[in-house]
């Protein structure tokens, strides 16, 4: 699908559909296109779907961190005038959703987390990509997925370009470090809203034990597995991801 975005003030975002608002939050090296399947499916099934472009590379370096990205999400939700929303986050997007929920629990109807950071992650297997090393970045991008063909040339080129832009890579490192510092373990038992965990069984970035730990700590959570799937379930298995999420939303909305 072609992703058409709106630009209003400091916000650029996708919006389509009517009904209960669900807000999609992409990961650190992600983009709006990561959620194409969700953006196509749910507006046709009674939901308003929104996805803001997160200011990962435009904030001043000293304020580039998970907390301030969550603050941006709050400003977006206030701008749109929503009372309660469902947040759907993958990887860093899940972490941002958790920080937002800690600060504004009254605004969060429910959460969907997939490959979320916040407890533990190994984004590049303990080694940060070397600038200019295309083959290394290609290998590490492929490792995000069970089906390596998902990491096509367009996706690898996008990651490569980001990690070879000095301003972007500085901010990428700053956000990664802030995510590691901001562990959510003590906060999760206080999250009483419904939470749907959708996890790839072969995720090596946030491995299955991370999903199990989230499930243990979140008192009102449901854990769903997708087999032959890595870190980005909504990209590798969009139909299965939508099926799980829609069935869960039908129970709680």
Domain range summary for the chain, segments of one domain joined by +: 6-252
Whole-prediction pTM: 0.92
Phi, psi at 187, each rounded to 5°: -90, -30
User: How many Å is the maximal CA-CA distance in the chain?
Assistant: 48
Rg over alpha carbons for the chain, rounded to the nearest Å, is 17
How confident is the model over 3-11, as a mean pLDDT? 94
Calpha distance 184→222 (Å, rounded): 18
The per-residue pLDDT for range 150-174, each reduced to its tens digit, is 999 999 998 888 888 888 889 988 9
**By C-alpha distance, which of 4, 3, 47 is closest to 23?**
47
What average pLDDT does the segment 224-245 reach?
98
Mean pLDDT within 84-89: 98
**Which tokens sit at 248?**
């869960």
pLDDT at 225: 98
Q: Is the pLDDT of residue 130 over 70?
A: no
**Per-residue confidence (pLDDT) for residue 121, from 0 to 100:** 59
Nearest C-alpha neighbor of 182 from the set 25, 67, 55, 61: 67
Q: For 6-252, which CATH class?
A: alpha beta
Greatest mean pLDDT among 24-33, 128-137, 186-195 lies in: 186-195
Q: Mean of the pLDDT values across residues 222-246? A: 98
Average pLDDT, the chain: 92
């Amino acid at each position: 699908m072609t992703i058409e975005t709106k630009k209003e003030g400091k916000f650029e975002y996708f919006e389509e559909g009517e009904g209960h608002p669900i807000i999609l939050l992409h990961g650190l090296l992600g983009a709006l296109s990561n959620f194409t399947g969700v953006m196509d499916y749910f507006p046709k099934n009674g939901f308003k779907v929104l996805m803001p472009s997160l200011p990962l590379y435009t904030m001043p370096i000293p304020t580039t961190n998970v907390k301030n990205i969550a603050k941006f999400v709050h400003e977006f939700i206030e701008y749109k005038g929503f009372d309660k929303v469902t947040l759907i986050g993958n990887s860093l997007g899940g972490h941002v959703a958790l920080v937002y929920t800690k600060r504004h629990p009254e605004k969060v109807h429910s959460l969907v987390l997939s490959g979320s950071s916040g407890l533990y992650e190994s984004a590049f297997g303990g080694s940060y990509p070397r600038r200019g090393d295309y083959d290394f970045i290609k290998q590490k991008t492929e490792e995000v997925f069970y089906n390596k063909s998902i990491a096509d040339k367009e996706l690898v080129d996008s990651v490569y370009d980001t990690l070879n832009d000095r301003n972007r890579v500085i901010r990428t490192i700053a956000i990664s470090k802030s995510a590691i510092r901001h562990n959510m373990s003590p906060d999760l038992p206080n999250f009483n809203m419904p939470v749907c965990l959708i996890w790839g069984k072969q995720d090596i970035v946030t491995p299955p034990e991370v999903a199990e730990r989230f499930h243990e700590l979140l008192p009102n959570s449901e854990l769903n597995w997708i087999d032959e799937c890595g870190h980005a379930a909504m990209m590798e298995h969009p139909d299965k991801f939508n099926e799980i999420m829609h069935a869960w939303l039908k129970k709680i909305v």
